[in-house]
Structure 1
């Protein structure tokens, strides 16, 4: 039997999540503060799907599948009454989330998995409002949920391991990549994202560069690599000894901002320099270097073609 999923909170994020789940062939029940709001949101996500389909961003038939798969409920209790999985996507206000989660866990079947789309709030603190908290975890989609593939899956200390595996499996069937991360402030995504934003803001404050210049540099240099390689793969390819040298220069100029990470220093001390030594943060052997370079070149060339095809982003500075 196909799982039934309830999405509680039908705004921009909740609506996108409902689209994703409906496209996997599952029945989605949408709820919001009123029945009218849920019904209006259902119509909105269908219209958006029709637009995506017309622009060839979703396959033919996607809007029909969403229209057939998503229904609006009269209340939160009605939405979750027969749900196998519930995703809460209400505003990032602890009191609002607590009240919503209390209602969900009181009305949903005792076996229902309950997830929260929070991007900042501790999962353990949210779990305080959930009956049988072992079935509760964070399931953090990124905006826009319809198209961004990665999803942070965040158990708290009491989450049942089978629940984590079940959610990651569901995400895979929805075409998403679920990655388990620990319940720490900011999780992983926002710690990385805000670290970059902090340094970018400092560069503007110090008069080093304009916002436009920084955005351009980020997009056209290291950001160009990120769809294909994460920061550790990039470092391994460049060479960790090179990174250590650069940290020496940066640390001398900005000691409060660029202390060399112990994880880097320890690997270099052991001779683990990245691809050229066969081990760094990853374990890509030197004999795969030619294959790696060929992939890199093909990927970057394809990205350049794509960017030329779609043109510059419509932002003004």
Structure 2
């Protein structure tokens, strides 16, 4: 996607692991990027780290060969927040996940930035409406949540608060797409989507270990080799549609024998089943897949899973255990 943002100036406030990765992503898409941190010395050191990282990533084939030179030429270390945002059309805040720090930084940033500059926050859990309280011109403010590690994870949550100008959202989504990533619109809610789902899974996994149902290692094995194996290609609604929503309803009812509240049947699932919308086998479910395309979908699914296994075989096991344990 190199060149998609050529001629545009961005500022990234907070140049640590997440902010630095976002700066790399923007620079590789053609943007001029100014970074700033708690002081000029830290900012300069982090810029050098980003260049060194780009060299390692390029050597490993993870970044294009030109990446080190591109990051070096397009990422500039500003002396302070005000200098970083001067003339920038888009500002991404990526400071520590504490509301008081974000408020302090965003007061300075929004006061110094141009009135029409869009300001995003990379917060992963704090409500955007709460953060917006410190922003001058909150209609231009929203959440733009990259995932760790920012250069390599493609999904980005775009989170609006009640006062966000809808025109700002479309422009931010264009920026995200220009970096080669995939924006998804999310309303302002605790945990947003990513972390609400991620921590729900972790909570249930931890309970299984605590109850002695399986070890942490075996839970991880089950997740990554069963339903987790599907997730690079399909989200939970597509997976449910292909499994059959009537099957899902039956399974919820079975789990309710032990946990009636925790696994209560979702109202939307019950409504679909009662209406005869059972997923791909009935021609409609949460996602509308025409009956004539189901064979094509199944063929894609089978190819995808086979290729995924081939990739895993090629990469080998992740280095999570001692060499002798493998």
Q: Which runs of 5+ in 2 are unaligned?
A: 1-5
Higher mean Cα deviation, 37-46 or 285-294?
Answer: 285-294
Q: Which of 237, 248, 261 is 1:243 aligned to?
A: 248
User: 1:13 and 1:210 mapped to 2: Cα distance?
Assistant: 31
Q: Which of 214, 229, 247 is 2:234 aligned to?
A: 229
TM-score w.r.t. the length of structure 1 is: 0.99
For each residue in 1:250-285, what CA deviation from the matched residue of structure 2 results, as whole angstroms up to 9, or x when unmatched?
Answer: 111221321110110010000000001111000002
Runs of 4+ residues deviating >2 angstroms: none
User: 1:192 and 1:72 mapped to 2: Cα distance?
Assistant: 36
User: 2:186 and 2:45 mapped to 1: Cα distance?
Assistant: 34
Q: Which of 197, 201, 222 is 1:196 aligned to?
A: 201
Partner SS for 2:250: helix
Q: Which runs of 5+ in 1 are unaligned?
A: none
Matched, 1:149 2:154: yes
Q: Which residue of 1 aligns with 2:168?
A: 163
For each residue in 1:125-161, what CA deviation from the matched residue of structure 2 results, as whole angstroms up to 9, or x when unmatched?
Answer: 1111011100000000000000100000001100011
Matched, 1:140 2:150: no
Q: Which residue of 2 aligns with 1:74?
A: 79
Matched, 1:308 2:294: no
TM-score w.r.t. the length of structure 2 is: 0.96
Aligned length: 317
Aligned pairs for 1:235-274 within 5 A: 235-274=240-279
**Shift in Å at residue 286 of structure 1?**
2.0
RMSD, matched Cα: 0.9
User: 1:309 and 1:46 mapped to 2: Cα distance?
Assistant: 29
**Shift in Å at residue 316 of structure 1?**
3.2
Q: Which residue of 1 aligns with 2:302?
A: 297
Q: Which of 179, 199, 212 is 1:207 aligned to?
A: 212
User: 1:15 and 1:242 mapped to 2: Cα distance?
Assistant: 45
